[in-house]
Amino acid sequence: MEFFLSLLGVWMIIEGIPWFLSPGGMKNALRRMLVLPDQSLRLMGAFLMFAGLLTVYLVRG
């Protein structure tokens, strides 16, 4: 559980960096994402999940 909570904390730090450094840029990025079709966003999400799973597999063995 300690590892999971540490991982969650690091994830929140990484996710917060762009909002802290450039809130206007993040707002613009979200506005641009609103016009993308759902299928494109779903494909992007699937790719990111696969890349994350592959990364964990390669690191953890």
* 15-25 residue pLDDT tens: 999 999 999 99
- Dist CA 55 CA 58 (whole Å): 5
The pLDDT of residue 1 is 87
Question: Cα dihedral sign for 56, 58, 60, 61?
Answer: positive
% of residues, the chain, pLDDT over 90: 84
Q: Mind listing the pLDDT tens digit for each residue in 24-38?
A: 999 999 999 999 999
26 and 19 Cβ atoms separated by less than 8 Å? yes
Q: Is residue 60 scored above 90 in pLDDT?
A: no
